Amino acid sequence: MNFTNEQIEMGQIPSAQTVLYAGLNTNYRIVQIIRLILTLFVFGGVYTLFISLVPKLNKLPLSWVLSGLGAIFLLGIVTIFVSFRFKGYALRTRDILYKKGWLFKSTTIVPFNRVQHCEVTQGPISSFFNLTRLHVYTAGGSQSDLVIPGILKSRATELKHFITDRTTDGEEE
């Protein structure tokens, strides 16, 4: 048996730009805003606890702290709304893709023949909006290789079954 490894012409490679991505559910923005608000409350609470326990270290005026938290909130809101447009997922015959990022862009592609298992998770805030996260795990890792947040529970379950079926089909080929 002779080993061959022929070069592929660059013009024969399909363009990744032609993939049509499905967007995340718009309620996912609300979930992200609620998480941002809860995070800022925690930071505000930690600051309040800190200055009440160590009053001699209270050199930062409360107005500065509130202004800083307000600026972080506004920056967080802008980031949530702008970055939301750049998130999406797509299914192809042999793989699943997820793209994200407006400053630092990334696209993750997981071939179905590498998928170990899938998992659908739902936190308390997301469950109120009937949203979930789809985790796709590949061999050799303890963390998911692909996480798609902000999907309706019914859609995530459909995707999970589709990927699982494709994984099973790939083993039979």
Query: Does 2 fall in a domain?
Result: no
What is the domain-level CATH number for residue 151?
A: 2.30.29.30
Name the domain count of the chain: 2
In 13-34, which positions are buried (b, 16+ CB within 10 angstroms) versus exposed (e)?
Answer: eeeeeebeeeebbeebbebbee
Alpha-carbon Rg for the chain, nearest whole angstrom, is 22
- E strands within the chain? 22-23, 88-91, 95-100, 106-111, 115-121, 131-138, 146-152
The conformational region for residue 14 under phi > 0 = left, psi -120 to 50 = alpha, else beta, is beta
- Work out the burial of residue 155: count CB atoms within 10 Å of its CB; fewer than 13 is exposed, 13-18 middle, 19 or more buried: middle
Residues 167 and 93 in one domain: yes
**Tens digits of residue pLDDT in 148-169:** 999 999 999 999 999 998 887 6
| Tokens 């995340």 belong to residue | 24
Residues 56 and 73 in one domain: yes
Residues 74 and 94 in one domain: no
Residues 160 and 109 in one domain: yes
**Tens digits of residue pLDDT in 3-15:** 888 888 888 776 6
From first to last of its 173 residues, what are the pLDDT tens digits of the chain?
Answer: 788 888 888 887 766 668 899 999 999 999 999 999 999 999 888 877 877 777 666 666 777 778 888 999 999 999 999 999 999 999 998 899 999 999 899 999 999 988 999 999 999 999 999 999 999 998 876 667 899 999 999 999 999 999 998 887 655 55
| 3-state secondary structure at position 41 | helix
* Nearest by Cα to 130 from 98, 159, 153, 148: 153
Query: Does 97 fall in a domain?
Result: yes
> Which tokens in the block code for residue 154?
């019914």
* pTM of full prediction above 0.75: yes
So what's the pLDDT on residue 63?
A: 78
Query: Does 15 fall in a domain?
Result: no
